[in-house]
Structure 1
């Protein structure tokens, strides 16, 4: 299956660079580009991509609101937020708006391609060390919402352990090793966590974990 991608960035050189990288693959095709949020909405509606690479700071409609509208629209393509800095105050807002993760603009070509494939497959580009630092930096400033803490009560002890390790940024394989479980069992537990807490994906699970204080400082 070919993965259809739309590039959204107000810098032509950035879009050109990403297009050159993605065009080198056999399974990814760039079906559209946009220099601002309003044009992005039109382009997404016209091309119906699988994945959108979304800049945050753009004239007019910014990347956060554009992401929110795409995700709540008739054709909710999955969105990867693009950022210049590893601690960007807008990234968390983008994740809350429905993005499936974020990527630094200076990421290696292989990382860009991998991120697009991962997100297109329904997973999230979530919880590398830089993501953990970002989420911890912003979410930990506020006290845990009482409702979020109450929702933890729906989890079993094992499910809470899995959520804690996900929040710390461990992969399923690493969690399996830490808890002496099979990787398939970890996936089952994580699926139940997402269902019980009404979370969309791993990114939301990481944010929820920080909000509830499961990880109180940058690991």
Structure 2
């Protein structure tokens, strides 16, 4: 957001933004919002033979993660009617977890990173509140009964706003013209598109490659997709020269 704000101050304001994330060269005008978190659990170390003398941060974290999984499953059981997103609901996922020092020690610390991919119409605050309430009701009382210095803290790591459809925007019209697309699409992954849109710049996503081939070992872009991307760039340059 800070860099985007500087664009208008230091450079000519762009008429539109085309983000080249992998969409198979489909014109995408919407994606879910993405919100990342880090939850840190502080326990009380003790020998694993004396579980009544300490608080195992790893096991407390596991309970929170299990609750996050339950919230995800609740979302999956209630898909949004008519949604174009795949999957057609909000998702919650835990991507990183670390903690503990030895197999025979109740862990003092455990930290995990998780995210929400928010479907339009859902409330991020409501999901956050459910997790906070679960911790307050089910974990903190028994943790504090052993030692008041134990606890659970969650901090926000990032906020990626959703890209909202703007039918007929200059970016959408141009990309549909250049690609010959009859319709627009949506994607579940996030981009900086929502940030450009919040700054008042018409934005779409259109780029070569498939998201299922990205963000994994040996990620690649198929040659046929590269060729489509080159052709798009050629047409874009020609359009810019003529207009």
Q: Between Structure 1 and Structure 2, which shows a larger proportion of helix residues?
A: 1
Larger radius of gyration: 2
TM-score (norm 1): 0.21
Q: Between Structure 1 and Structure 2, which shows a larger proportion of strand residues?
A: 2
Q: Which has the higher contact order (CA 8 A, sep 6+)?
A: 2
